[in-house]
């Protein structure tokens, strides 16, 4: 994890013929999900909150009694499951995206701070990293939500904290080794201030490592968010998340399995696609991590 630099511009070009089939399928799935999430209002056949108490617990179209009016059936309040999955997907991806960005910025800033000041600042950061790595994140998140109550903004911030320590560790390590490299010394000798050296010269060189970590962090954030929402402690109604749907649908496994199982499938396939993409990207962009 010390010398992932520098990246040749050519490695950024995506060559479709180069991608293994699993990665191609993953990329296609991720793009499809992204488009659906972006166009949720247009693609969803119904408003996700529209209730139809006379059409409750209708099965999906391929089962007896299913109709094309509700291709994936309806839930216990007669809401269209397809529309709810689309809206949930939008919120789950949005939270994961924001969470990943916040985590990346937070971790990068902390990593640079530790590498710049060294000494006791570095020690404090390392102790904090150890501390964060020691406590299972879901326990920490539950504690924060218990103490502060739940709100959408707080929940997104909590998701942002997830994984900061990995960015901090990577950035700190790379910044420490980079500041002794010729180019950083040269810019500094020319009189650039430290912020400029870090942001304009060292950061671009560790871009691939950070991006790889972001693609690996993204599906994990989805899993944490959906798990907390499943427990009823994440996204709160009337908003909906894929985890919420599984959590509420769990009570209907016997009579209306589709409410819980269909969003479960979406979670699984989507996180799997992101993980496969992330692994592939890591092997490609960060040759030092390649190997077994």
Partner 1 sequence: MTTLSVASKILRALITVFLLVSFVFVVLRLSGDPAIQMLGVDADPRALDAFRERWGLDRPIWDQYVSYLWNIFQGDFGHSFIGNRPATEVVAERLPKTLWLMGLTTIFTFGIGIPAGVYAALHRNTAVDRLTMGLTVASFSLPNFVVGIVLIMLFGVVLRVLPTAGSETWLHYILPVATMATADAAIFARFSRSAMLEVLSAPFMRTARAKGLLWTEAVRRHALPNASIPIVTVGGIYVGRQIAAATITENVFAWPGIGKLLVASVQNRDLAVVQCIVILVGVTMVVTNLLVDLAYGWLDPRTRSGESK
Binding site for partner 1 (CB under 8 A): 127, 130-131, 134-140, 142-149, 219, 223, 226-227, 230-233, 243, 246-247, 250, 253-254, 257, 260-261, 264, 267-268, 271-272, 274-276, 279, 291-292
Query: Which residue intervals of the chain are DSSP H helices?
Result: 21-38, 40-43, 81-117, 119-134, 137-148, 152-161, 164-178, 182-189, 194-196, 203-205, 207-230, 242-249, 258-285
The residue (of 35 and 253) whose beta carbon lies closer to partner 1 is: 253
The residue (of 49 and 236) whose beta carbon lies closer to partner 1 is: 236
The residue (of 202 and 276) whose beta carbon lies closer to partner 1 is: 276
Q: Which of 49, 54, 85, 59 is nearest to 256 (CA)?
A: 59
User: Using an 8 Å Cβ cutoff, are 161 and 251 in contact?
Assistant: no
Q: How many residues does the chain have?
A: 292
The residue (of 119 and 136) whose beta carbon lies closer to partner 1 is: 136
CA torsion sign for 103, 105, 107, 110 is negative
Quote the least distance from Cβ 146 to partner 1, whole Å.
Answer: 4
User: Using an 8 Å Cβ cutoff, are 245 and 186 in contact?
Assistant: no
Q: Which of 112, 166, 114 is nearest to 137 (CA)?
A: 166
The residue (of 7 and 100) whose beta carbon lies closer to partner 1 is: 100
Quote the least distance from Cβ 239 to partner 1, whole Å.
Answer: 18
Quote the least distance from Cβ 279 to partner 1, whole Å.
Answer: 7
The residue (of 81 and 276) whose beta carbon lies closer to partner 1 is: 276
Q: Which of 40, 28, 42, 83 is nearest to 259 (CA)?
A: 83
Angle at 229 between CA 274 and CA 237, to 5 degrees: 120
What is the rounded CA–CA span in Å between residue 131 and residue 136?
10
Quote the least distance from Cβ 114 to partner 1, whole Å.
Answer: 17
Quote the least distance from Cβ 120 to partner 1, whole Å.
Answer: 13
Quote the least distance from Cβ 59 to partner 1, whole Å.
Answer: 15
């Amino acid at each position: 994890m010390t010398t992932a630099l520098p990246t040749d511009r050519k490695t950024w070009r995506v060559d479709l013929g180069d991608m293994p089939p699993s990665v191609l399928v993953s990329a296609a799935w991720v793009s499809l999900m992204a488009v659906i999430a972006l166009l949720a209002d247009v693609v969803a056949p119904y408003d996700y909150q529209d209730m139809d108490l006379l059409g409750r617990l209708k099965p999906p179209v391929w089962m007896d009694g299913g109709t094309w009016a509700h291709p994936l059936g309806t839930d216990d309040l007669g809401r269209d499951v397809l529309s709810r999955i689309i809206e949930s997907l939008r919120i789950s991806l949005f939270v994961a995206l924001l969470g990943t960005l916040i985590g990346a910025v937070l971790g990068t800033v902390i990593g640079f701070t530790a590498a710049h000041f060294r000494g006791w600042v570095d020690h404090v950061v390392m102790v904090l990293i150890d501390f964060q790595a020691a406590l299972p994140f879901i326990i920490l998140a539950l504690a924060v939500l218990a103490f502060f109550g739940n709100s959408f903004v707080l929940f997104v911030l909590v998701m942002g904290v997830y994984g900061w320590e990995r960015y901090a560790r990577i950035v700190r390590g790379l910044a420490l080794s980079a500041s002794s490299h010729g180019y950083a010394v040269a810019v500094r000798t020319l009189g650039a201030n430290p912020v400029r050296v870090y942001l304009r010269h060292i950061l671009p060189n560790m871009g691939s490592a950070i991006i790889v970590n972001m693609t690996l962090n993204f599906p994990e954030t989805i899993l944490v968010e959906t798990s907390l929402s499943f427990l009823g402690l994440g996204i709160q109604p009337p908003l909906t998340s894929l985890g919420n749907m599984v959590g509420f649908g769990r009570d209907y496994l016997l009579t209306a399995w589709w409410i819980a199982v269909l969003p479960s499938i979406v979670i699984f396939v989507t996180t799997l696609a992101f993980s496969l993409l992330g692994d592939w990207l890591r092997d490609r962009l960060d040759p030092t991590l390649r190997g077994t």
